[in-house]
Amino acid sequence: MTTNWQERVSLKPYNTFGIDVLARYFAQAHDDDEVRQALAEAGARQLPVLVIGGGSNLLLTGDIDALVLHMASRGRRLLCDEGERVVVEAEAGEPWHPFVQWSLEQGLCGLENLSLIPGTVGAAPMQNVGAYGVEIKDVFAGLTALDRQTGELRDFSLEECDFGYRDSLFKREPGRWLILRVRFVLGRSLNAHLDYGPVRQRLAEQGVETVTAKAISAAICSIRREKLPDPAELGNAGSFFKNPVVTGALAERIRAQYPNVVAYPQADGQVKLAAGWLIEQAGWKGHREGDAGVHRLQSLVLVNYGQASGAQLHALAQRIQADILERFGVTLEMEPNLY
């Protein structure tokens, strides 16, 4: 066994829900060579491998009979500076929010709406993470991934990633691609996105007269801290359910009964509904079952008040899903990956 492998390691520090389950084996990879070594040895021992980053998109429902490989690579750099257009790159293990703040310190715009999202750079393209009107695909320049089937490195373009709403090629082919580093195209001039959520209102409340990328980031951090619990204080994985996209006909049936439904028409005629509104309307906001609950301020967030198991949180999520389907005819999809 390689020297950096550990046996029966608690994953509580490595998932933001704070679920205390054990990994049969645990290792950290700080560079490409350590990734390859870990995968090679796991293959030789016929062990499955679970790759994790910040653990902010996981719901662990039991001990993991596998090698859990924690991506701990670090590094961020400017690859191309054309004056207005700048391409930056970050290693997969870089924590996301500090990377966003680093980009702002370089005078670069584009990531400010994605401030204070938990997790790591490598995990961001998996879900095509997004917030306040901006998604990863909007600032994406490419990534390098390891094909676990062939052992070869491959560079992916925007088109090849096939990004969708909280979706990507990498999510649809689980276990094949291990993202090593990601590139983003940013600018020195601000193209402000202020009309999603209360961003513009918060800037006004803060007395901001000249809108800058840093000001937008600060406003969004302020909003998120008010609405979303800090995982260091209350275990959670952020938004637990995706906003469902439904047919226009179903949206109209819901609106006929609930005129104040929060809905966003899509270009293809479908309608995106606010999952948080549906859950709150159904009375789940602030609901608690032992140490598993729905946050009192944000009904999209399931929380671990201390000793909840992943199975208890999953059972609560399933009850919410069943209730929303019965009440509204809408299927809610979980965002976190279930293990």
What are the residue numbers of the active site? 166, 239, 335
Q: Which residues contact 119 (CB under 8 A, 6 or more apart)?
A: 53, 54, 56, 57, 95, 96, 129
| CB of 114 closer than 8 Å to CB of 91 | no
Q: Which two tokens stand for residue 268?
A: 């293809």
On the 0-12 / 13-18 / 19+ scale of CB atoms within 10 A, 52 is buried
On the 0-12 / 13-18 / 19+ scale of CB atoms within 10 A, 26 is buried
**Closest residue by Cα to residue 197 from 146, 130, 110:** 130
Strand partners, 338: 59
| CB of 202 closer than 8 Å to CB of 125 | no
Helix axes 213-227, 96-105, angle to 10 degrees: 160
Alpha helices by DSSP H, listed for 89-164, are 96-105, 124-127, 158-161
**Closest residue by Cα to residue 49 from 71, 33, 32:** 71
Task: Tell me the CB-side half-sphere exposure of residue 133, using CA atoms within 13 A.
Answer: 15
**Closest residue by Cα to residue 279 from 328, 315, 335:** 328
The alpha-carbon radius of gyration of the chain (Å, integer) is 20
